[in-house]
Every structure is written in C-alpha cells, then in structure tokens.
Amino acid sequence: MRFSFLAVTMAAALVAAPVQAEWTDEQKAAAAGALVLLGAAALAHHEDHHEDGKHLTQVEEIAAFDRGYRDGLHNAERDPRDGGRNYTDGYEAGEQERQHRLAHRKQDNHVKHNLPNLAKRACVGEASARWGRNPRDIHVTNGRKVGGDDYLVEVSAGKRHGNCEANSKGDIYLFKKGRI
C-alpha cells in the first residue's frame, strides 16, 4: 500500500522521539494513525499473493509489488516507469486474483453455476479454515459433478488452489491442494 511507507515513517519517528513522561494528544493520535495504517498494510499484503508464499523484505520491493498487485487487480495499464521484477510479479498476482474474482461471470464456466450452493460454501469454508483466510478472499473457480450426489469443487485464494469433494448438503469428504 502507498500508505505503508508513510505509516512506517511515522512509527519510526515516534520511536526515535525522545522519551517523555506524557504524550500530547497529537502524538497519541499520530501513533494510533500509524498503527492503523500498518495494520491495514499488513492485512492487504498476504503471503498467498507471492510464488511459494515467499515474502519480500525490503520496503522498496514490497511497495513495488503492492503497486503492481493493485494495478493488475484493477486492470490498470502497466506502469512503464516501474518495470522491475517485483512490480511485474505483483501485477501478475493481481491479474490472477482478478481472474479468480471474476470467474463466475465467464460464459464458458457455466458448470460452476450448476454446483449446489452448500457444496460451494462448505469448500470455501474448509479452505478458509485450512489457509487462515477470510472466506470473502476465497473464490470457487471450477467444479463438476462426479457422481450421485457428489461434487468436485475447485477454490483459490491468490496463488493457492485447492479442491474438495462434497455433497449437495455441504458434507466434505476430501480436501487437497491443487487444481481439479
């Protein structure tokens, strides 16, 4: 996030400030604001957006990745001034996340609409529990009926993919990593 650099700078300034017995109201408000911005940046920056879950460590690398991710997610043109590897990786991760979020709108992916809602919700819930992600960040990207009352549902979040076998009542029989 663009605010993360500002938040880090504000937090560093507060830490480097001389120790006082009491903070002024302005200092308290600045510290609270910096913590809120750091928290928002941490929530927006998730390991699933990186290949193999590897985090970047340098502030400039993280900022470039996040700019690229945001541009890719919102289908913006690539920034020609920021063509570095981190920006490109972020852009590709953002594009992939956008495709996952919009997968339900594709005409050729109509089979997913024939999946029972309880089966889809159960698989999203299982992925959420296993991956520690908010269910709103997990998307059903594919699925099919495998026989009787059983369905195979593919879910994804960032670069993570999983598939589960569930029935129309939402009972899960199997959950494993990977695509269908």
Do 64 and 95 sit in the same domain of this protein?
Answer: yes
pLDDT digits (tens, 9 = 90+) for 111-126: 555 899 999 999 999 9
- Other C-beta atoms within 10 Å of 67: how many? 20
Quote the number of domains for the chain: 2
CB-based burial, 21-55: b 16+ in 10 Å, e otherwise: eeeeeeeeebbeebeebbeebeeebbebbbeeeee
**pTM: predicted TM-score of the whole model, two decimal places:** 0.51
Final residue in a domain of this structure, among 101, 123, 149: 101
Q: Which domain holds residue 119?
A: 108-177
Report the interhelical angle of 59-73 vs 85-102 (nearest 10°).
30
Residue type, 18: P
Q: In whole angstroms, give the CA distance from residue 145 to residue 143.
A: 7
pLDDT digits (tens, 9 = 90+) for 127-170: 999 999 899 889 898 899 998 999 999 998 877 899 999 999 99
